[in-house]
Amino acid sequence: MSRDILDIFVIGGGINGCGIARDAVGRGYSVALAEMGDFASGTSSGATKLIHGGLRYLEHYEFRLVREALMEREVLWAMAPHIIWPMRFVLPYHKGGIRPAWMIRLGLFLYDHIGGRKRLPATSVLDMRKDPAAKPLKSIFTKAFEYSDGWVDDARLVVLNARDAADRGAFIMARTKVVSARREDGVWRIDTVNMRSGEKASHHARMLINAAGPWVDGVIRGAFGRNEAHNVRLVQGSHIIVKRKFDDPRAYFFQNPDNRIIFAIPYETDFTLIGTTDRDYEDDPKDVRITPEETNYLCKAASEYFKEPVRPEDIVWSYSAVRPLYNDGASKAQEATRDYVLKVEDDNGTAPVLNVFGGKLTTYRRLAEHALEKIGEAIGQKGTTWTSSSKLPGGDFAYNGYDEQVASIQKDYPFLEGRMARNLVRRYGTLTRKILGNAKTLADLGIRFGSDLYEAEVKYLIEKEWAVTAEDILWRRTKMGLRLTPQETAQLESYMADAPARMIG
């Protein structure tokens, strides 16, 4: 493939890069993508994992972004009903709170009506003296507003876009770093190195897509020698996971005295996710870690609402990521725009590059469509829009058909305990049968690494989803890292080290 001239070469295997690659190859473009690490190993797996309009963005007058995001909620839910599902959010209110009731009502009225909501239920007002949602909260909160948004397994959203792109003919390269990109004879020459084998390769493409997320400016500096490139503002967002704080299936939206907000969300059945923070970040994005200040901030903010305080010693896991927001000159990190910006540059009409700045999980599909408009203008149009009515791998069932899928799996594989069946369908949807195959008993699934993680699933992730390390499996393809002991994790690490890493593209 190295001497062939591709239409498009994408740098970056986060949600934007994988989304653009999938859309482009589906329209008939020849596409390659290189990701220097694992898919979703940066920003795309460090989100609050919401498919949402962004209620708080209304305060910053980001009406275009909010409307687009609200419209996408039900589109994405229908595309991937195994990894995306609706969730209700409870916004507790008390007199003298941060925002007056009229402002919250107005915001939620807009939220309900500007985004073409059809299937998600509308906002309601709760009497917290009677509603079960009040149980874990302090008694000061006698009233609340309840509204709809969605939840997503963010890392799986990314890898399923990569998988579908590969299935449609894209050349997808994980753990492959772009070491140089330069214009030669009117096209791009992109040199890559495989980070595991050391193998070097050269690729040629008519157009380059720089979707490197927090490293987007670094690619511009390296590829063009433009050391003055400062297009993104790096903002750190951190989250903590604690043992389950409440039984209610609804999530909470908490307002803080500093005007920031955090969520407390049911997570992986037995846990509660709390986040996020917003602070400017100056160091290398690969080194980002939650700070003691952020940990204390999240614990304190949640404890303002919960009867039972959240303490640092309650934390079972934390994660942190850097959001590459477009640098619009906002004075505070939480005020910087969450909208995306796409910029095309070329060399006298040849070898164009599209730089992708910003973006969020909810709008990735629309970002890809807008990117394809610019790609069409630059190198010629192919195909038409198609992803809005598409299905991601495993998602080929009705938007409300999850329970039916679980029942079908349990009927065909009666040895599966209910939780394991639900979790497998949540991760793989209709592809669950590919993993289970002809198994008649749990023993037929091979080695049990711990909890409900068996060799059959691990093999599938190696063969079909580019998994190479235990971390890929435990913290991105699944969240089994929350359940395995250190000894069980070590067993999986040993297995992965010995397994042939067959990456299909």
Q: For residues 196 and 155, what is the distance between their CA atoms, to the nearest angstrom?
A: 21
Q: For residues 502 and 504, what is the distance between their CA atoms, to the nearest angstrom?
A: 6
Task: Quickly count: other Cβ atoms within 10 Å of residue 228's Cβ.
Answer: 7
Q: Which residues contact 416 (CB under 8 A, 6 or more apart)?
A: 409, 410, 424, 436, 442
Architecture of domain 402-498: Orthogonal Bundle (1.10)
Taking the alpha carbons of 471, 473, 479, 480 in that order, is the dihedral positive or negative?
Answer: negative
Q: What is the pLDDT of residue 503?
A: 38
Q: What is the pLDDT of residue 171?
A: 98
Angle between helices 455-464 and 486-498 (to 10 degrees): 50
Strand, coil or helix: 377:
helix
Q: For residues 124 and 379, what is the distance between their CA atoms, to the nearest angstrom?
A: 49
Task: Quickly count: other Cβ atoms within 10 Å of residue 289's Cβ.
Answer: 11
Which residue's entry shows tokens 């149009």? 381
pLDDT tens, per residue, the chain with 505 residues: 446 999 999 999 999 999 999 999 999 999 999 999 999 999 999 999 999 998 888 887 888 989 999 999 999 999 999 999 999 999 999 877 778 888 899 999 999 999 889 999 999 999 999 999 999 999 999 999 999 999 999 999 999 999 999 999 999 999 999 999 999 999 999 999 999 999 999 999 999 999 999 999 888 887 666 666 678 889 999 999 999 999 999 999 999 988 889 999 999 999 999 999 999 999 999 999 999 999 999 999 999 999 999 999 999 999 999 999 888 776 676 666 778 999 999 888 899 999 999 999 999 999 999 999 999 999 999 999 999 999 999 999 999 999 999 999 999 999 999 999 999 999 999 999 999 999 999 999 999 999 999 999 999 999 999 999 999 999 999 999 999 999 999 999 999 998 754 334 3
Cis peptide before 276 (omega within 30 of 0): yes
Q: Are 24 and 375 in contact (CB under 8 A)?
A: yes
- 8-state DSSP, 88: E
Residues in a beta bridge with 280: 235
Domain positions in the chain are: 5-43+155-231+338-389, 85-151+234-326, 402-498
Tell me the CATH number for domain 85-151+234-326.
3.30.9.10
pTM: predicted TM-score of the whole model, two decimal places: 0.95
Taken as a whole, the chain contains a residue count of 505
315-326 and 232-243 beta bridge pairing: antiparallel
Q: What is the pLDDT of residue 500?
A: 59
Q: What is the pLDDT of residue 335?
A: 67
Which fold is adopted by the domain 5-43+155-231+338-389? FAD/NAD(P)-binding domain (3.50.50)
Q: For residues 183 and 300, what is the distance between their CA atoms, to the nearest angstrom?
A: 52
